[in-house]
Amino acid sequence: MERISEVSAERGRIAEEVRRRRTFGIISHPDAGKTTLTEKLLLFGGAIQMAGAVKARKAERHATSDWMAIERERGISVTSSVMKFHYGDYEINLLDTPGHQDFSEDTYRVLTAVDSAVMVIDSVKGVEPQTLKLMEVCRMRNTPIITFINKLDREGMEPLDLLAEIEDKLQIECAPLTWPIGMGKRFKGTYSLYRKELNLFRSGQDRLPADLVTLRDLDDPLLEAHLGLQADQLREDLALLQGAADPFDEAQFLRGNQTPLFFGSAINNFGVREMLDAFVEIAPAPRPRETTTRMVDPGEEAFSGFVFKIQANMDLAHRDRLAFLRVCSGRFTRGMKVIHHRLGKEISLTNPIIFMAQDRTGVDEAWPGDIIGIHNHGTIKIGDTFTEKEPLRFTGIPSFAPEHFRRVRLLSPLKAKQLQKGLLQLSEEGAVQLFRPLGDNSYILGAVGVLQFDVAVARLRTEYGVEADYEAVNYAVARWIEGEDRRKLAEFESYYGNSLALDRNENLVYLAPSDWELKYVMKKWPEIVFKSSCEHL
């Protein structure tokens, strides 16, 4: 066994940096309040000075429907994809999971690079479809989730009904750590179940120390003094809660089976600090990650990391692309030589973007949980692993079944080769998925967000000189097909030949016109495995 005295200074330093790091994303349905919450978190962290900064960026993005303009704007504010801030002793990396019309596979894939997630739910609307989809992705890696129920300043669902809905629709146990007192006009604040403290609500941004009232117990007359008739309601709620909700269990939370719940109002900056304080305490630091050969511990001295996102067109003139790499172990230093294992090549990371706090001067290092940006001209793919020496390949960076489909129509007839090359590269980069139907020679593109189609056509034009557009196809769902029974698989192939296609890695994919049809076919062919995601190779 290693003795403490033998642990090198470097290992100690890495362990300390790992301990201080929290890397997370926010998942929510559009309009639940993600941008508002992000802004409040950044204000606490001192990463922005002024309320409205994040909001303004969102408004700017939405004011334009021209995606090239969006990309250009992003090019300037690329750091906003990773918002880094300090809070107390902690270094926090908040990875942006774009929603709205930006919704794409990137949104899903960013979640493969986080260690935990904060889920924002609108108390008026409850669980909404996009939250459900993002939650499914979190479930693939058992990502621990903290829930923030927002907009308590409005008349919303009864808190107990909300809990039941989350448990039912998202299949996760709820453990409230705070509890709301009234809502809408009667919203008085929250009660902290673990601190036995009242947090009194006043609208507006400023929170005062006098708003926090510590109680001896629930019979404390201070409760009546502050809440009046609503004191009894709180006592009743808490009694009910004892029977209805589970106590917080850290192990269950870390396994992704239970979510601690906080109530508040992001716009009023209410309940946010409580959640952040709990977040840094209970959310996991960077955890070991699986590779095809072994688990890699973040505390290992040798550097390793993987690419989870590629952002194109940072600079249109140079076709530059930025690969986002998550550091998984060791210390990263500027100029470091690393091996790009898929190509078996050593490269020098001389000019990485290191996403650090606002002040980027003099930052030359990154640690496990941090994200670095590497410039490249198309040689890096999603899922690529970089290490100092050992040939490793991180797993768990999948492609997700697309939900929208289009057939590509080439408009410049002499450019068939360029079209093929362009589509292949765009799909390798993860911008869009490419399928070749078994029955004909066409190209079908698949995406999880329709903006990806506009992006693909625009990039074909600007980067490959190909004019193309789309025609509708009657597909709504895709599933990767596998089966141990070769004979059955062959039978399935001959039966459904017209609905089958190959993805860019020559994996077989079944394309169905509806969910209903997929379910019917799945029932009919129990020997066939229909997979909704596929590991990046």
Contact residues toward ligand G4P (CB under 6 A) are: 28, 30-36, 55, 99, 150-151, 153-154, 265-268
Q: Which amino acid is at 415?
A: K
**In whole angstroms, how close is the CB of 172 to ligand G4P at the nearest point?**
20
Is 178:192 a contact under the CB 8 Å cutoff? yes
- Alpha-carbon separation of residue 136 from 27, 97, 449, 533 (angstroms): 11, 14, 16, 11
CA atoms within 13 A on the CB side of 443: 23
3-state secondary structure 244-281: HCCCCCHHHHHCCCEEEEEECEHHHCECHHHHHHHHHH
Q: How many CB atoms lie within 10 A of CB 89?
A: 8
| Least distance to ligand G4P, CB of residue 311, Å | 20
* Tokens of residue 54, six digits: 């994040």
Buried b (16+ CB within 10 A) or exposed e, 292-315: eeeebbbbbeebbbbbbbbbbbbe
CB of 97 to ligand G4P, least distance (A): 10
**What's the rounded Cα separation, in Å, for the pair 455 and 460?**
9
Task: Rank residues 207 and 381 by Cβ distance to ligand G4P and give the closer one.
Answer: 207
- Burial status of residue 148 (CB atoms within 10 A of its CB: 0-12, 13-18, 19 or more): buried
Q: Render the burial of 98-131: b for 16+ CB within 10 Å, e for the rest.
A: bbebbbbbbbbbbbbbbbbbbbbbbbeebbbebb
Distance (Å, rounded) from C-alpha 74 to C-alpha 80?
8
Shortest distance (Å) from residue 272 CB to ligand G4P? 9
How far apart are the C-alpha atoms of 409 and 416, rounded to whole Å?
10
> What is the distance of C-alpha 94 from the center of its chain?
10
Whether 527 contacts 488, CB under 8 Å: yes
Beta strands 173-176 and 258-263, pairing class: parallel
Q: What are φ and ψ of residue 87, in 5° steps?
A: -145, 115
- Whats the size of the chain, residue-wise? 537
H or E stretch covering 434? strand 433-437
Nearer to ligand G4P, 204 or 344 (CB): 204
For tokens 């009894």, what's the residue? Answer: 232
Q: In angstroms, rounded to a whole number, what is the distance separating the alpha carbons of residues 516 and 495? A: 18
**In the complex, what is the shortest distance from the CB of residue 276 to ligand G4P, in angstroms, rounded to a whole number?**
15
- Our CB check for ligand G4P shows the closer of 40 and 415 to be 40
b/e per residue, 514-537, with b = 16+ CB within 10 A? eeeebeebeeebeebebbeebebe
Smallest distance from ligand G4P to CB 454, Å: 20
Between 36 and 112, CB nearer to ligand G4P = 36
Residue 124 CB, shortest distance to ligand G4P, in Å, is 9
Minimum distance between the CB of residue 531 and ligand G4P, rounded to whole angstroms?
30
Whichever of 53 and 529 has its CB closer to ligand G4P, that residue is 53
Record the tokens describing residue 3, joined without a space.
């003795």
Cβ proximity to ligand G4P: between 149 and 349 the closer is 149
Compute the distance between CA of residue 298 and CA of residue 317 in angstroms, rounded to an integer: 38
